[in-house]
Amino acid sequence: NLLPSSVEVYTEQAYLSEDIAIPEAILKHIDKRKDNVFVFDRGVQSRKTFNELDNEQINFVTRLNSPVRKEVLETYVLPDNVIINNLTTLSDEKILLFDRKNKKSNPLRLIVTEDEKGETLLFLTNMFDKQIEEIIQIYKRRWDIEVFFRFIKQELNFKHFMSTSINGIKIILYMTLILSMLILLYKKYNKVGYKTAKRRFYYEMEELYMAIIITMSGGDPALVFR
């Protein structure tokens, strides 16, 4: 609920497609607990991918592009309060999706909503036992991913690579993730913002290792590096 749990580095051009990279990452690092839900954005649209995840009994929530070619199997009765945050729920259906070859997907659930500007937002999931509000709130948690990406890019300079070799990139990535976890934990337990946590963490770490150096050297730092 706070820290990254795994990382994958892809080097082949095919993995520029999120339809390939994201499902593989999910299937490779799958946590089989039934209460886990995987959330991803509209970069994944492959009906085959949805089937693979569903066949593995992996719960997911995503957004779907419009228009949608579908077959409606069942239409659910909407609750009295269909307004969630800024979204008004228009329909809740059990459907089959069609791919480009007219093959049908597994039965999935499609929730159609509309925001205050009249834009239609489609939420797709394979969970039929959750309330509409739960599905939308689960997808909303995906924003945590964007916040984390922005944090490591802007605050930890991950957008600049000091090496272009695969091994070098991995080392930089792992070091950045370790540092990010330390700062995020510091931020949580001290109840401060990202910038404040980064600055205070730096100064406190500097004081800590300088104290260690002075202790080890008996007051002469030059002895530490002999």
What are the tokens at 134?
């739960």
Whether the per-residue pLDDT at 85 is higher than 90: the answer is no
Cα three-residue angle 36-37-42, rounded to 5 degrees? 160
pLDDT of residue 2: 66
Q: Which contiguous run of DSSP H or E holds residue 108?
A: strand 108-114
Q: What CA dihedral angle connects 177, 178, 184 and 185, to 10 degrees?
A: 150
Q: Is the pLDDT of residue 151 over 90?
A: no
Tokens representing 23 are 């499902």
Gap between the Cα atoms of 80 and 77, Å rounded: 9
How much of the chain exceeds pLDDT 70, in percent? 96
pLDDT tens sequence across 47-56: 999 999 999 8
Residue 125: which pLDDT band, with cuts at 50, 70 and 90?
A: very high
Element (H, E) at 96: strand 87-97
The structure's pTM equals 0.81
Compute the residue count for the chain: 226
Given a contact cutoff of 8 angstroms between Cβ atoms, the answer to whether 195 and 184 are in contact is no
Averaged confidence pLDDT in the chain = 88
Three-class SS state of 38: strand
Residues 176-202 have a mean pLDDT of 91
Give strand pairing partners of 72: 95
**CA 109/CA 123 separation, integer angstroms:** 8
